[in-house]
Amino acid sequence: MDTLIHSCKLRPQESGLMLDLPRQKAAWEWMSFYVRQLAPGAAWKAGTADEETAIVLLGGRCTVDIGAGPQEIGERRDVFDGLPFAVYLPAGMTAQFQGTTSCELAECRVPSSAKSQPRIVTPKDVSTSLRGGGNASRQIVDVMPPSFPAERIIAVEVYTPSGNWSSFPPHKHEVHNPPQEADLDEIYYYRMRNPKAYAHQRLYASDGSRDTVVTAHDGDAVLVRDGYHPVVAGHGYDVYYLNFIAGSEHSLANTIDPDHAWVMKEWNGFSPGLPIVPMANGNKA
């Protein structure tokens, strides 16, 4: 399986899968990842017997029923128009979705046996922050952080302004060595306002055996299985990516590349391009 995956483009009133990455196909130990579009009135049932499921509504409006009757969710037209709704389903639980408008849903599934309750995450439930500094600053939206009552799934939205670096300094999470580092699979699902926009993502091994750069455009996914994986947004283009993360610990424990850790001492303030979407509940940097 390639590292860079292109999504299928659908017409606005069409339903279907835009990305179809079961973990066997993606050569991942933990995660399966899907992106689907629902047309107005189209229905979809989520949830499996032996996996926990996280679904982030990227844009549009729909109704969802997690067992207490249909509830309408969705306030943003697309990922640059506000904060997300999301749905969490433990193993053995299902949810019924129906499109109100055309909507886009990103889904992650991870094997699980934990007993928990289904939840709807609203924009009031997420937290936001600014991270980094200078031209390595970005906006973080924690949708399902490690404190969220899931067994393994973590979901984070990241907004990187034009020309800025993200996932920087480079870090890795490939070794199960808690609490210093966890062995985690990670998805980067990119969305951009302009069809000409792009981001470069460097993927390199900690032992020097691999060093590649991929160019991601709107709707592309990058699969991170190991190694360091920093990102830079193309000049002139703000970049969004959704991270789903899962692995040996419900944790974001990672190791920073020691060759680049020094840059943090040089950071002074955040990029003037931030925030890109409103800060949640009045959160500041």
For residue 283, is pLDDT > 70?
Answer: no
Please count the CA atoms within 13 angstroms of the CA of 122 that sit on its side-chain side: 5
Quote the pLDDT of residue 100: 97
Residue 113 has pLDDT above 80, yes or no: yes
Domains of the chain with CATH codes? 11-273 (2.60.120.10)
pLDDT for 51 beyond 70 = yes
d(C-alpha 65, C-alpha 121), whole Å: 13
CA-CA distance, 212 to 206, in Å (whole number)? 13
**pLDDT of 157-206, one tens digit each?**
999 999 999 999 999 999 999 999 999 999 999 999 998 999 999 999 98
Question: For the ranges 24-28, 60-64, 140-144, 168-172, which has the lowest average pLDDT?
Answer: 24-28
Given pLDDT bands bounded at 50, 70 and 90, which one contains residue 143?
very high
Query: Is residue 142 left, alpha or beta, with left meaning phi > 0 and alpha meaning psi from -120 to 50?
Result: beta
Residue 27: is its pLDDT beyond 90? no
Q: Above 50 in pLDDT, residue 285?
A: no
Categorize the per-residue pLDDT at 28 as very low, low, confident or very high, splitting at 50, 70 and 90. confident
Whether 242 has a pLDDT exceeding 60, the answer reads: yes
Omega before 161 within 30 of 0, i.e. cis: no
Percent of all residues in the chain with a pLDDT value above 90, rounded to a whole number: 89
pLDDT of the residue at 1: 62
Q: Give every strand in the sheet of 231-233, ordered side by side.
A: 165-166, 231-233, 199-204, 211-216
Q: Is the pTM of this model over 0.85?
A: yes
Mean pLDDT, residues 77-99 taken together: 97
Alpha carbon distances (Å) from 38 to 4, 30, 43, 49: 24, 26, 7, 23
